[in-house]
Amino acid sequence: MEINGSIALVTGANRGLGRAFTAHLLDRGAAKVYAAARRPDDMSLDGLDADRVEAVALDVTDPAAVRRAAEQAPDVTLLVNNAGSNTWQDLVAGDLDQIRLELETHLFGSLQMIRAFAPALGRNGGGAVVNLLSAMSWFAHPGANAYHVAKAAAWAMVNSVRLELADQGTLVTGVHLGLADTDMSAGFDSEKLPPVEVARAALDGVEAGAWEVLVDEWSRTVKSSLAADPRPFYEALAATTF
């Protein structure tokens, strides 16, 4: 599909990657962007073409809110599942409610959005779904293992719904990256991707019909390690400072 003329909905659009997707969609000629956030009244439209942006109140973990968003945006041709969280929990000693929240957000939240918008995408010609995943879909790390499990589950979900939506002509693109320069990564002293580069790579992938976009070398390195014995990868990871 072409981004020019598309009608998109972006979750978590108030800041970080979601804000970058919203701006870059407009730059590439999207006819309209539904900018979704839990508190849209706090969302700044400074620097955006406000005539082509419509705020949507949305918590992806709330089924009623997801249904209302689908009713508000029946003309969507591109769904960008970006909303996310990191509760910084491990699995054995971590807070189980926080671990469940990770899964509710990344797995069930994204799935609820896809289920709610799939009929509209089909009616509107097929369109596309972009799901923001992570290099951590493929590896664990102490202190963030709930995030790893949630992203791994979301990766499996994306691979599944891609096949289920193929007959209606809907492209499903999974986007993997390491660290982007957002609030979530503020505590890491490592090289970070500018959010606009992530948005550009993801939308280039959509226009190319890509099933998966690996934005950076780190994502490509991690994925290439999956076929090997995991021990050397984790031994090298343990010696790395983020």
Report d(CA 82, CA 114) in Å as an integer. Answer: 12
In a domain, 117, yes or no: yes
**Model confidence over 115-134: pLDDT tens digits?**
999 999 999 999 999 999 99
Report d(CA 53, CA 61) in Å as an integer. Answer: 23
| pLDDT value at residue 44 | 78
Block means of pLDDT (10 residues each) for the chain, length 242 residues? Answer: 97 94 97 94 83 96 98 98 95 98 97 98 98 97 96 98 98 94 58 91 98 97 96 92 55
In a domain, 171, yes or no: yes
Q: Are 26 and 53 in contact (CB under 8 A)?
A: yes
Helices 145-164, 96-103: crossing angle, 10 deg rounding: 30
E strands in the chain: 7-10, 32-37, 53-57, 78-81, 128-132, 171-176, 212-214
Domain hosting residue 136, numbered range? 7-238
In a domain, 123, yes or no: yes
In a domain, 1, yes or no: no
| pLDDT value at residue 187 | 54
In a domain, 2, yes or no: no
Cα end-to-end span (Å), the chain: 37
In a domain, 149, yes or no: yes
Closest of 124, 145, 122, 148 to residue 137, by C-alpha: 148
In a domain, 169, yes or no: yes
CATH number, domain with residue 78: 3.40.50.720
**Model confidence over 157-194: pLDDT tens digits?**
999 999 999 999 999 999 999 987 855 544 556 677 99
| pLDDT value at residue 36 | 97
Domain count, the chain: 1
pTM of the model: 0.94
In a domain, 21, yes or no: yes
Helices 110-123, 145-164: crossing angle, 10 deg rounding: 20
